[in-house]
Structure 1
Amino acid sequence: MTTELAKIPENEIKNRIYTLKQKMENNNIEAVFLTHKPDICYFSGTSQDCYLYINIDHDPVLFVKRYLPRARKESCIKNIFQIPSITHIPEKIINLHSNLPKTCGLTFDVVPVRDFYFYQKLFTSTCFIDCTPVVNDCKQIKSDHEIKQMKTAAKLSEKTFSYIQENIRPGISEMEFCGIYETFARKFGHSGTLLTRHYRAEGFPFHLLSGKNGGVAGAVDTPCCGIGTSISHPFGAGAKIIERNEPILIDFGTILNGYHMDETRMFVLGDMDQKAMDASKAALEILYTLLSQMKPGVTMGDIFEKAIKSAKNLGYEEQFLGLPGIKSNFIGHSIGMELVESPIISKGNKDILKPGMVFAVEPKFIFKNEFAAGIESVIQITKNSSCFLSTTPNKIFICK
């Protein structure tokens, strides 16, 4: 891990802003006011405490509360101003552009209602509209720079799963072992906290479900939940002791240089029960089936239905994507600067796959009070087909 923090190239930022302005014009959005840190970082190159204002007819403006010297070093935005308070922003905009915009986009999916009303009082003559779809559309297609960053994150994920294979052992708790391999990943630049967009979602990298803990459903919108550490954190790894000859599902989220990788692999210390082994192999088969179907022009809903059909044909309809009555309605999600981005490969989704899209695809099963089985790998949509961005071997890790 280097002590010099990597910057987002200037041409990358300029291309993103150009794309955003095109989409703003197509949607009659005069300006956008970005307050969500991952959005600000995506379009400015910095995650300092700041706000980004982009008017379709003017250069972007970055308003920084703290810390101005780092923001200027990290961002290629030319107009960067120190502000003691957000209340000074409207006046600054008027001084720069003569007036406030008549309409201005806010990302309604992440702006709290209280903040919305506060912004409305500050921008007295402005009507705020939702620019979430426009911002999300910009992020859907990954650039060559972004693919490179995600490949680097994939290498760290692969290195961590290799470390897991070499160091997993019976007799320690799920959470203790999660701490061990997360510490390993942190040594190579893993940032620790996974970035999530939805206000009710929590991003955590320690998702180890051993034996019967994998068969416990819960609060997370995913087939495999786990017990967790307490009633206030009822998901993920817990106090259960890892044992030999039991199926172990490890879902590890990596974030490196601002980009995520999300992968799941099955492990066993010794010999896996045939039932769990067969289910784990079925998950692999579904993954490769979906890979063969994921190509430009195919609708995401069709990919979801293909996953359902494949699970049914393999005899796992009941266990696939969750327990009956609480099944997940998606098989994959976009991934990038946030762990879960738009669009989602979900039931009924009419959006089509496009070159440059990147998805974490996760066929998983839960066998109630028995175990969980599955796999998750990251797939890139290419010009004519798709390929794995994940470099971790798509296999069951058998550790003796």
Structure 2
Amino acid sequence: MGFSADVHAARLDRARHLAADAGLDAVVVGAGPDLDYLVGVEGDTIERLTALVMPATGPATIVVPRMELAKVRDTAIASLDVRQADWVDGDDPYALVADAIPAGARRIAVSDALPALHTVPIGERLDVRLELATPVLREGRMIKDAAEIAELRRAGEAIDAVHRQVPQLLHAGRTEREVADDIAAAIMASGHRTVEFVIVGSGPNGADPHHEVSDRVIGDGEIVVVDIGGAVPSGYNSDSTRTYVVGSPDPSAAERIDVLVRAQQAAVDAVRPGATAEEVDAAARGVLAEAGLADAFLHRTGHGIGLSVHEEPYIARGNQIVLREGMAFSIEPGIYFPGEWGARIEDIVVVTADGAERLNVTPRSLTSAG
């Protein structure tokens, strides 16, 4: 599913204005989420250059290998004021980039997804010191429009449907990998087009926030962290974590997870236009600190989400970015006890005019499975 040409035209126009306001003469956007956001062209960076050259004024140009031209023409590009400059092996695509940039341009920025393989030749061809376009491109993607929020809601509903199945999949005697394989199948069956990640962290593995899956056999009474997500057909991502127990939990573990649930709620309650990312992080951290669990919280409270699973804004200590309506990000505090167990609760929220809308609605308390 793609967005209409009108949506992409508005995004391009906004990006041009942001570039001009930043004093940039042109922006070069490589293959990746930024290119998908601006003109609907999907794909990852490869050795053959695909790039959108966007002057601060005037029409943009997409430089694309001829073998990819048909795919590009089957996107919003066909209805946008974007010129097409194709090339074949043996041609110099960097000359096409230079031709698309106004004469005399000196401040040229590139997207952060454009690798050195292409950035260095572009800089040499233009004889300028390239800048990062991140401040310009980030600004557009951070504020989701109504169509993007609808897709994030769709993704949230789909991943919630998967979490509702987890208690039937999670049993003592199964391995983390066996459970993860079933969850991956459920993610695809729920309407996702890709499985981006499946984390099943049982017992002591749950105490590692970066654990994915292993062949460890899940035991009775163990706490299990299940963090899952994928992209729906539009490319927008889901990401939700719930913590389960196989059978009955240790009472002290259940009490600490209750505190974690309260910490996650406090962070959600702190979300509103005008608040800072740091203040939201502090809300979760404060509840945990009051319960003596501050040292068990090892990471930031959240990350932005959209065409990338992780994007700005980041909900972390020291980040004083001011929240605005339309921003979308995770709220996911966790507590981790090495060698024992861990827990994390994660929802995606969207900043509304007066607070936050949760996009995940499955129960956040410790959920029995098996």
TM-score normalised per structure 2: 0.91
Rounded Cα–Cα distance in structure 2 between residues aligned with 1:379 and 1:266 = 19
**Letter aligned with residue 58 of structure 1:** G
Which of these residues, 214, 219, 236, is aligned with residue 243 of structure 1?
A: 219
SS in 2 for 1:354: coil
Q: Relative to 1, partners in 2 of residues 1:360 and 1:42: Cα closer, same or farther, differing over 3 Å?
A: same
**Letter aligned with residue 226 of structure 2:** I
Show the counterpart of 2:307.
337
CA drift at 1:111: 3.6
**Letter aligned with residue 239 of structure 1:** D
Rounded Cα–Cα distance in structure 2 between residues aligned with 1:180 and 1:94 = 50
Q: 1:335–1:359: 8 Å Cα contact kept in structure 2?
A: yes
Q: 1:48–1:70: 8 Å Cα contact kept in structure 2?
A: no
SS in 2 for 1:260: coil
Q: Relative to 1, partners in 2 of residues 1:96 and 1:289: Cα closer, same or farther, differing over 3 Å?
A: closer
Q: 2:174–2:217: 8 Å Cα contact kept in structure 1?
A: yes
**Letter aligned with residue 389 of structure 1:** L
Show the counterpart of 2:61.
61
Q: Deviations over 1:114-163 (max 9, x none)?
A: 53222222x33444222111111111101101001111111110111112
Rounded Cα–Cα distance in structure 2 between residues aligned with 1:116 and 1:92 = 14
Q: 2:26–2:108: 8 Å Cα contact kept in structure 1?
A: yes
CA drift at 1:94: 6.1
Show the counterpart of 1:303.
280
CA drift at 1:363: 0.9
Q: Which runs of 5+ in 2 are unaligned?
A: 45-49
Q: 2:31–2:113: 8 Å Cα contact kept in structure 1?
A: yes
Rounded Cα–Cα distance in structure 1 between residues aligned with 2:165 and 2:249 = 20
Show the counterpart of 2:161.
159
Q: Deviations over 1:180-227 (max 9, x none)?
A: 110221234434353xxxxxxxxxx12111112223x4xxxxxx233x
SS in 2 for 1:297: coil
Q: 2:63–2:96: 8 Å Cα contact kept in structure 1?
A: no
Q: Relative to 1, partners in 2 of residues 1:237 and 1:86: Cα closer, same or farther, differing over 3 Å?
A: farther
Rounded Cα–Cα distance in structure 2 between residues aligned with 1:335 and 1:98 = 34
- Say yes or no: does 1:315 pair with 2:292: yes
Which of these residues, 3, 7, 18, is aligned with residue 2 of structure 2?
A: 7
Q: Relative to 1, partners in 2 of residues 1:48 and 1:368: Cα closer, same or farther, differing over 3 Å?
A: closer
Show the counterpart of 1:273.
250
Which of these residues, 114, 137, 142, is aligned with residue 140 of structure 1?
A: 142
- Say yes or no: does 1:207 pair with 2:208: no
Show the counterpart of 2:47.
none
Q: Relative to 1, partners in 2 of residues 1:85 and 1:134: Cα closer, same or farther, differing over 3 Å?
A: farther
**Letter aligned with residue 67 of structure 1:** E
**Letter aligned with residue 192 of structure 1:** T
Q: 2:53–2:62: 8 Å Cα contact kept in structure 1?
A: yes
Show the counterpart of 1:81.
85
Rounded Cα–Cα distance in structure 2 between residues aligned with 1:346 and 1:138 = 21
SS in 2 for 1:348: coil
Q: 2:348–2:360: 8 Å Cα contact kept in structure 1?
A: yes
Show the counterpart of 2:42.
47
Larger deviation, residues 342-351 vs 180-189: 180-189
Q: 2:195–2:229: 8 Å Cα contact kept in structure 1?
A: no
SS in 1 for 2:272: coil
Query: RMSD between aligned alpha carbons?
Result: 2.1
SS in 1 for 2:92: helix
Rounded Cα–Cα distance in structure 2 between residues aligned with 1:16 and 1:394 = 36
Q: 1:377–1:390: 8 Å Cα contact kept in structure 2?
A: yes
**Letter aligned with residue 340 of structure 2:** E
Q: 2:172–2:219: 8 Å Cα contact kept in structure 1?
A: yes
Rounded Cα–Cα distance in structure 2 between residues aligned with 1:310 and 1:68 = 54
Which of these residues, 8, 13, 20, is aligned with residue 18 of structure 1?
A: 13
SS in 2 for 1:259: coil
Q: Deviations over 1:311-365 (max 9, x none)?
A: 111231231x23xxxxx2x211111111111121111221111111111111100
SS in 1 for 2:74: helix
Equivalent residues in 2 for 1:188-199 (5 A)? 188-192=190-194, 194=196
CA drift at 1:263: 0.8
Number of aligned positions between the proteins: 360
SS in 1 for 2:130: strand
Q: Relative to 1, partners in 2 of residues 1:334 and 1:98: Cα closer, same or farther, differing over 3 Å?
A: closer
Show the counterpart of 1:117.
120
Q: Relative to 1, partners in 2 of residues 1:111 and 1:45: Cα closer, same or farther, differing over 3 Å?
A: closer
SS in 2 for 1:365: strand
**Letter aligned with residue 283 of structure 1:** L
Q: 2:166–2:369: 8 Å Cα contact kept in structure 1?
A: no
Q: Deviations over 1:49-99 (max 9, x none)?
A: 721111121222222224222211122334233221596345445666674
Q: Relative to 1, partners in 2 of residues 1:290 and 1:93: Cα closer, same or farther, differing over 3 Å?
A: closer
Q: 1:93–1:99: 8 Å Cα contact kept in structure 2?
A: no
Show the counterpart of 1:366.
336
**Letter aligned with residue 275 of structure 1:** S
SS in 2 for 1:120: helix
Identical residues among aligned pairs (%): 20
Q: Relative to 1, partners in 2 of residues 1:53 and 1:86: Cα closer, same or farther, differing over 3 Å?
A: farther
Rounded Cα–Cα distance in structure 2 between residues aligned with 1:101 and 1:90 = 15
CA drift at 1:110: 3.5
Which of these residues, 346, 351, 357, is aligned with residue 387 of structure 1?
A: 357
Q: Which runs of 5+ in 1 are unaligned?
A: 1-5, 195-204, 218-223, 227-235, 323-327
Q: Relative to 1, partners in 2 of residues 1:370 and 1:100: Cα closer, same or farther, differing over 3 Å?
A: same
Larger deviation, residues 46-55 vs 133-142: 46-55
- Say yes or no: does 1:355 pair with 2:325: yes
Rounded Cα–Cα distance in structure 1 between residues aligned with 2:291 and 2:225 = 20
Q: Relative to 1, partners in 2 of residues 1:91 and 1:392: Cα closer, same or farther, differing over 3 Å?
A: same
SS in 2 for 1:159: helix
